Every structure is written in C-alpha cells, then in structure tokens.
Amino acid sequence: MANDQSSSLNDVNIDAVVSLVGQIQQEPDVAATKWSAHVEWKGGFRSEAKIRDFAPSASDEPGTLGGTDSAPNPVEQVLAALGNCLVVGYAANATAAGIEIKDLSIDIEGDLDLHTFLGMSEGNAGYENISVKVNIDSDASPEALQALHDKVTNTSPVGHTLGRVVPVKIELA
C-alpha cells in the first residue's frame, strides 16, 4: 500500500488484511480455513441458509419452475456469490494498490439448460458458461485497472471454485 494512503481508502480495513497476512506468514496453518452453511427446507422449493450468526438467506424457484418466486434460486445465488467475491477482490486489491474506486458494479449471466435438472436427459445440470462484465469508475490509468483486474481474476476463491473441477461429496445421513 502506498505510504500516503490511509487504511480507510475505499472503506476497506486494509490493516486487518495486512495483520492476517502477517499472521499467516508466521503460522502458515492459519491459512487453512473451513466455511459452512446450514440449510433447512421450508416447504415447496423454499429453503433458508443459515451462515454464522447472520439472518437466514432465503431461496426459492420462480413460478415457471414450480416455486413461489419468493427469493432468488440457487443458480442465481451462485452468480451472486461470484459477483460478491469479485467485489471483495477489487476493493481489497485496489486499496492495497492505492487506487480509489468511485463506483463498481458487476453484471453476471449464465446459460443453463434445464433438460438434465428436469430429468429429461442425462448430462450437465449446471451452467454451460458464465459471462461477467466488470464496470469500474476510477481515475486510475487503464494499465493500473488492467493490472487490478488481472490480479482479482487470478485470486478469486469463488472464481477458482467455479472454474475447475471441485470434488463434492454428498451423503445421506
């Protein structure tokens, strides 16, 4: 981080991040983290995810898929998770580089064929592809913004999770 930048640039507590990096350098095992969620069915296609001490996050399906359209569906939440992760990456890395962000928005789309989900064929029930458009308003040079973009896309945990095969074990308790 540039010496003339305060830890409040872009409303990011960069001191906390620097402290974590220092702790991981001293104790590498601290970097191995585990995250969790608890999901409960609420009838129909409705469910609620409980994460840490936050209010539950609702999920449902649109009416055209048999739901009541009371909340985003899981595949929409995957897109939102990617966008939220990218926002964190841009805010953290821009702050570390001394880049002020005036405005940041991310638009995400994914193409999904419902044949497998509906049991009409076998194959991929997930996204065929995901497209992301990042809009950053900043006085930084195009080169600095490209370097920021490259760093964020190369370090996004959700981006990496979606971009490669991840072993998923689902067992009946």
The CA distance from 131 to 96, in Å, is 27
Convert the pLDDT of each residue in 91-148 to its tens digit: 999 999 999 999 999 999 999 999 999 999 999 999 999 999 999 999 999 999 999 9
How many structural domains is the chain composed of? Answer: 2
Residue 82 sits in the same domain as residue 127 = yes
Instruction: Let me know: does 104 contact 87? Beta carbons within 8 Å.
Output: yes
Work out the average pLDDT over 58-63.
98
Show the tokens assigned to 161: 């999770």
Beta pairing partners, 39: 49
Residue 78 sits in the same domain as residue 157 = yes
Instruction: Let me know: does 94 contact 104? Beta carbons within 8 Å.
Output: no
Show the tokens assigned to 166: 């991840």
Q: Can you give the CATH number for the domain in which 125 is found?
A: 3.30.300.20
Supply the pLDDT for residue 8: 72
Residue 125 sits in the same domain as residue 143 = yes
Supply the pLDDT for residue 18: 87
Asked if residue 29 is part of any domain, the answer here is no
Least confident of 6-10, 28-32, 97-101: 6-10
pLDDT category at 6 given cuts 50, 70, 90 is very low
Residue 59 sits in the same domain as residue 90 = no
Which CA distances in Å does 138 have to 10, 47, 51? Answer: 11, 39, 33
Residue 59 sits in the same domain as residue 85 = no
Asked if residue 32 is part of any domain, the answer here is no
Supply the pLDDT for residue 7: 55
> Angle at the Cα of 92 (from 87 to 94), degrees rounded to 5?
95
The answer on pLDDT for 2 being more than 50 is no
Residue 84 sits in the same domain as residue 153 = yes
The CA distance from 168 to 18, in Å, is 32
Residue 158 sits in the same domain as residue 143 = yes
The answer on pLDDT for 151 being more than 50 is yes
Residue 105 sits in the same domain as residue 55 = no
Residue 151 sits in the same domain as residue 106 = yes
Instruction: State pTM to two decimals.
Output: 0.91
Residue 50 sits in the same domain as residue 111 = no
Percent pLDDT > 70 in the chain is 96
> Pick from 49, 71, 93: which residue ends a domain?
71
What value does the mean pLDDT of the chain take?
A: 94
Supply the pLDDT for residue 9: 87
Residue 64 sits in the same domain as residue 88 = no
The CA distance from 81 to 157, in Å, is 10
The CA distance from 15 to 27, in Å, is 18
Which tops the pLDDT comparison, 139 or 9?
A: 139
Asked if residue 13 is part of any domain, the answer here is no
Which residue range is the domain that position 104 belongs to?
73-162
Closest to 126 (Cα-Cα) out of 136, 137, 113: 113
> Pick from 24, 49, 71: which residue ends a domain?
71
